[in-house]
Chains A and B, each alone.
Chain A
Amino acid sequence: MALLAWKRTVRGPTDQASTFEALALPLLPALYNTSSWLTRNPNDAEDLVQEALLKALRGFSSFEPGSNFKAWIFRILRNSYLNSRAGIAAQRTVSLDERLEADSAYPEEVIEMTTPETNFMRLSDRAAVQTAMEGLSPTLLEVILLCDVEEMKYKEIALVLDVPIGTVMSRIARARAALRLQLAGNAALNRETRA
């Protein structure tokens, strides 16, 4: 049977294997880190990276040499996550507010109620920032991971997420606003606990 539209064009076999290894293996730590953030479970993270690697390997003949391999394999990883049980569950639990919020709208700057010193101390607390990141929805967490942690450009993120650059920008703005809110909320909670 044909499955023509999804069938990959075949490329030369000999150099394919070594090229794939050279491109994919250095990205293993990054893929694992992102998978762990998304799945929040070491076994699921390993399964997700494994699935993405196998899919990438099988479809490598369609990868255009010279184009962005990192964006390509992260896109495969992300799509595999969306199709996984964890991904499907996460999509169904996204808050209604977030769905209703238009992607094109930028959030207002979160009002800073703290001094620059306390703000600096809060941001220096790695555990506090990680807790705040855990509180983000998958949609917002993934842009923080791609932009800040993986240092991808907006254009690359747009490729991974398959959305326009404008949407990437608005999601980044919303993600950072949500992070600031989470950090401010956690700090207030800590103050109350100490009091």
Chain B
Amino acid sequence: MSHHLSAAMLDSLIDGELPETQSAEVSEHLSQCPSCTSAALRHSLLKASSATAGHRYAIPPDVEQRLRREARPNSSAEPRRNVKERSHWGGLTAIAVLALLACTAVILMQRHIRNSQAASAEQAIFTEVCDLHIATLAANQPPQVLSSDRHTVKPWFQGKLPFSFNLPDDLPSNARLDGANLTYINDRPVAQLLYSIGGHHVSVFLNEGPPYVLANLAHAERQGFHVMEFRAAHLEGVAVSDVGPAALAELVRAVEDAQTPRG
């Protein structure tokens, strides 16, 4: 190696990220080049200094106690076993009946636990979607991409999302595209399309769904907000708004239809 080490190579060296094949070559170069050795030392000093300076905020004991309690799942959620003492009946028939009842109870309990967990996970997503919509309204700030032009909004997501989507040409009467945000739901990047219908704001969250198809329109209500879910092509969408369900369904249908190429 005749040339000096680049900044990237020096960083990889001090971060212990150099591949073994390069490591020997770099070591050999450092043994012969005082300039690079000095640069490596500077990089190393800076890393050590920022590591020390970065440990700045110690968690206060009362905050730690509170957070520890938060991290502890509710013990009442633990499944409880209800064991009943029964008198000894004797006889094979009675034992068989008891065994059957026990098996049924275990199966029912497991199903109940599974269902309640699934419902709880679903409820969590539901809450997150509503919270994001409310936070957008409360932020009183313009969207990350502020445009009513679908040819501006859609390209803005290029390189930001691992999937693409279409925006409808024709919107229902009174509906208007206001812009969009890149947001995260359950640790996944999601497009938040912002529409308004009259004076009501609507968030349509688009996410890349699993490959199976299920295009049933589901609808739920929470604290005055209507939430509708739809599925089209490779996408899953959720719309949230306080607008009437009929107007929301019309907008949802337009977004849903836009995902399906016309023949």
Interface residues of A (CB under 8 A from B): 1-8, 10, 13-14, 16-17, 20-21, 24-25, 28-29, 32-33, 36-37, 42, 45-46, 49-50, 53-55, 57-59, 61, 75-76, 79-80, 82-83, 85, 88-89, 91-92, 106-109, 112, 116, 119-120, 123-124, 126, 129-130, 133, 144-145, 147-149, 151, 153-154, 162, 169-170, 172-173, 176-177, 179-180
Max chain A Cβ within 10 angstroms of own Cβ: one of B54, B117, B185: B54
Contact of B42 among A49, A57, A112, A148 (CB under 8 A): A112
13 CB contacts below 8 A, A to B, read: A1-B229, A4-B231, A6-B186, A14-B79, A33-B55, A57-B71, A58-B124, A59-B121, A61-B117, A89-B141, A107-B7, A144-B54, A176-B47
Find out whether the CB atom of A133 lies under 8 angstroms from the CB atom of B50.
yes
Tell me the smallest distance from the CB of A31 to a CB of chain B, in Å. 8
Tell me the smallest distance from the CB of B70 to a CB of chain A, in Å. 5
Q: Roughly how many angstroms separate A17 CA and B53 CA in the complex, as a whole number?
A: 34
Q: Roughly how many angstroms separate A17 CA and B48 CA in the complex, as a whole number?
A: 37
Q: Roughly how many angstroms separate A45 CA and B8 CA in the complex, as a whole number?
A: 32
Find out whether the CB atom of A1 lies under 8 angstroms from the CB atom of B126.
yes
Q: Roughly how many angstroms separate A17 CA and B79 CA in the complex, as a whole number?
A: 12
Find out whether the CB atom of A10 lies under 8 angstroms from the CB atom of B118.
yes
Find out whether the CB atom of B15 lies under 8 angstroms from the CB atom of A172.
yes
Find out whether the CB atom of B117 lies under 8 angstroms from the CB atom of A1.
no
Tell me the smallest distance from the CB of B75 to a CB of chain A, in Å. 8
Interface residues of B (CB under 8 A from A): 6-8, 11-12, 15, 17, 38-39, 41-43, 45-60, 63-64, 66-68, 70-73, 78-79, 113-114, 117-118, 120-122, 124-126, 128-129, 132, 135, 139, 141, 144, 183-189, 207-210, 214, 216, 218-220, 227, 229, 231, 236, 238
Find out whether the CB atom of B141 lies under 8 angstroms from the CB atom of A53.
no
Find out whether the CB atom of A32 lies under 8 angstroms from the CB atom of B46.
no
Chain A residues with Cβ below 8 Å from B15 are 147, 153-154, 172
Find out whether the CB atom of A46 lies under 8 angstroms from the CB atom of B139.
no
Find out whether the CB atom of A50 lies under 8 angstroms from the CB atom of B67.
yes
Determine the residue in chain B with the shortest Cβ distance to A152: B15
Determine the residue in chain B with the shortest Cβ distance to A127: B53
Chain B residues with Cβ below 8 Å from A123 are 45-46, 48-49
Chain B residues with Cβ below 8 Å from A82 are 183-184
Chain B residues with Cβ below 8 Å from A129 are 49-50, 52-53
Chain B residues with Cβ below 8 Å from A180 are 46
Find out whether the CB atom of B187 lies under 8 angstroms from the CB atom of A28.
no
Q: Roughly how many angstroms separate A46 CA and B36 CA in the complex, as a whole number?
A: 43
Q: Roughly how many angstroms separate A19 CA and B181 CA in the complex, as a whole number?
A: 35
Contact of B57 among A21, A36, A91, A179 (CB under 8 A): A36
Q: Roughly how many angstroms separate A148 CA and B17 CA in the complex, as a whole number?
A: 13
Max chain B Cβ within 10 angstroms of own Cβ: one of A3, A53, A176: A3
| Contacts A88-B139, A130-B53, A148-B50 given; does A154 touch B17 at CB 8 Å | yes
Find out whether the CB atom of A21 lies under 8 angstroms from the CB atom of B71.
yes
Find out whether the CB atom of A61 lies under 8 angstroms from the CB atom of B121.
yes
Determine the residue in chain B with the shortest Cβ distance to A11: B117
Max chain A Cβ within 10 angstroms of own Cβ: one of B12, B144, B187: B187
Contact of A37 among B54, B59, B124, B207 (CB under 8 A): B54
